[in-house]
Chain A
Amino acid sequence: QQQVKQSPQSLIVQKGGIPIINCAYENTAFDYFPWYQQFPGKGPALLIAIRPDVSEKKEGRFTISFNKSAKQFSLHIMDSQPGDSATYFCAASMSNYQLIWGAGTKLIIKP
């Protein structure tokens, strides 16, 4: 019940396309859902986060869509660029507990 399932494991998209990464969770007590971006040789860095009282949040070209009833949330990258090539992690937590991490998605944007 503490797991966060992330898919796909890897994704290749042409420049300008819209990659979509999905995550699903079971614990309805989760109330914080961040996405982290990690470049090779670096630590993960927060990209965007959402709380369950909203269904969508946009920051620049990055959008989180949140479906509370389905217990799913997804990351969309608009007008993707080769510089977006990285590993993306979703996570979830309750307000007084640890971050539970998805397994990660390796995204490659082809020029």
Chain B
Amino acid sequence: NAGVTQTPKFQVLKTGQSMTLQCAQDMNHEYMSWYRQDPGMGLRLIHYSVGAGITDQGEVPNGYNVSRSTTEDFPLRLLSAAPSQTSVYFCASRKGFGTEAFFGQGTRLTVV
């Protein structure tokens, strides 16, 4: 049982480049979300989805896009990378609200 799989684990981008962080889950969870983790700031929600075809913005959505074409996959796109987007990114999935969130291993992104 793979759980939540994120790729890549590490990435270095130049300012202005775009890229997609991949997230896949095999637990048939409807609810998926993307967070960024910065020192001393906890986990901040970027975007989330409550099911295929449904996405919404979280606390810090600017500079990021998401789509949810299948239940399993929830990719996060950086449109034009900026140094302020240097962070560790986590994808999580849950069966529903008020239930356990399962996290991926994270993607450490550096924008230079």
On A, residues with C-beta under 8 Å from B are: 6, 9, 31-32, 34, 36, 41-46, 49, 89, 93-99, 101-104
Contacts and interface: CB of A to CB of B under 8 A. Distances in A.
A47 to B, nearest CB: 10
A95 to B, nearest CB: 5
Interface of B: 4, 33, 40-45, 48, 58, 90, 92, 97-98, 100-101, 103-106
A44 B43 contact: yes
A103 B97 contact: no
Contacts, number: 51
A44 B90 contact: yes
A102 B40 CA distance: 10
Given A42-B105, A43-B106, A95-B97, 7 more contacts: A6-B42, A43-B92, A44-B90, A49-B100, A94-B97, A98-B48, A101-B43
A103 B106 contact: no
Given A46-B100, A93-B97, A95-B97, A104 B90 contact: no
Nearest to B33: A98
Interface class of chain A by DSSP: loop
B98 A89 contact: no
14 contacts: A34-B100, A34-B101, A42-B105, A43-B92, A43-B103, A43-B105, A44-B90, A44-B101, A89-B43, A93-B97, A95-B97, A97-B97, A98-B33, A99-B101
B92 to A, nearest CB: 7
B98 A93 contact: yes
A80 to B, nearest CB: 22
